Structure 1
Amino acid sequence: MELDIRRIMEHLPHRYPMLLVDRVLELVPGERIVAIKNVSINEPFFQGHFPHLPVMPGVLIIEALAQAAAIFSFAKPEGGTMLDSNTTAYYLVGIDDARFRKPVVPGDQLRLEVTALRISKVMCKYEAKAYVKDEVVAEAKIMCAIRDIGEA
């Protein structure tokens, strides 16, 4: 399954400037997602990080990976039907073993690859890696909680 930006926005509550996934290239419910974030000099964080040497903040690379994981978590294995993000909240609750291997700069295209380690109705754990070309630039294990909006 592939998703363009309109379909992504149907399933993530994030909007500019916090929407950090531009396209989903591959989505295998219950297994993995591959998504893209195009990094442009027009990103608002480059105004202050850093004006003389623009580098994407590592925390935003992790956020992009978590957003890809959220899209992945909303896909049900039994048919690819998406959960409703209007009634379901998705929270990043843990980050383990985060490593940042190389700076991400304007003009780079991040390939976000997230693989399921454990998925349940309330908690999910993933192995997540961000690549530029074929080089890992960041990686982490991330844990996310899924809650009904009424419980949030």
Structure 2
Amino acid sequence: MVGKSFSLSANELQLYQPNRYPFLMIDRVTDVMPGKYAIGFKNLTNNEWYFPKHFENHPNMPGALQLEAMAQMLTVAITTIDGLKGKITHALEHTVRFKKEVLPGDRLDIKAELISWKRGIGKGRGICTVEGVEVSSADMTITIPEILERYLPNNGKI
């Protein structure tokens, strides 16, 4: 399950993360240990699609997109496990905390740690920082439905 750590370019990332522009919230994965953690970043510019409306005259990154960045990084920690490349994940539960605004020109550093992975359910923790200062964090539970369904009563059928 766990091998050596490696990095993923913007193109390689798309082999493991199903989101695409404009909803891909990661530019690069600098270090991933399959089944353990993933670390990377998102560079934010005034050209981001959400800045003109969130908020006019005071643009900042929506909290929901910070959470999405952490969930996507946790997905990378899971989908880099052998046999899970490119699998679709869904959110089950997130508890998130926001501490500071994220502004155009910032580099959002994203870290996600997989705490447990069992029967298609992953529990993990994500932290976003800007210049070493924590701006948001989340405790997350996500699933790969294709795997989870195998463990549901009646093979996932209601």
TM-score clears 0.5: yes
Would the aligned equivalents of 1:11 and 1:82 in 2 still touch at CA under 8 Å? no
1:82 CA drift (Å):
5.8
4+ runs deviating over 3 angstroms:
none
Mind listing any 5+ residue stretches in structure 2 that lack a counterpart? 1-5, 150-155
Distance 1:135 1:84 in 2: 32
> What corresponds to 1:83 in structure 2?
84
Q: Which amino acid aligns with 2:27?
A: D
- Alignment-mate amino acid for residue 122 of structure 1: G
Displacement, 1:133? Answer: 1.1
Aligned length: 144
Q: Which residue of 1 aligns with 2:122?
A: 124
Structure 1 residue runs of 5 or longer lacking an equivalent are none
Note the C-alpha offset of 1:75: 1.5
* TM-score, reference length from structure 2: 0.85
Deviations 1:78-129 (CA, angstroms, capped at 9, x unpaired):
xxx46232xx320111112x11111000010011011122112410011110
Q: Which amino acid aligns with 1:94?
A: E
Relative to the length of structure 1, the TM-score reads 0.89
Q: Secondary structure at the match of 2:51?
A: helix
CA RMSD, Structure 1 to Structure 2 (Å): 1.7
State the percentage of identical aligned residues.
30
Counterpart of 1:137 in structure 2 is: 135
Cα distance in 1 for partners of 2:9, 2:128 equals 19
Flag the structure with larger Rg.
2
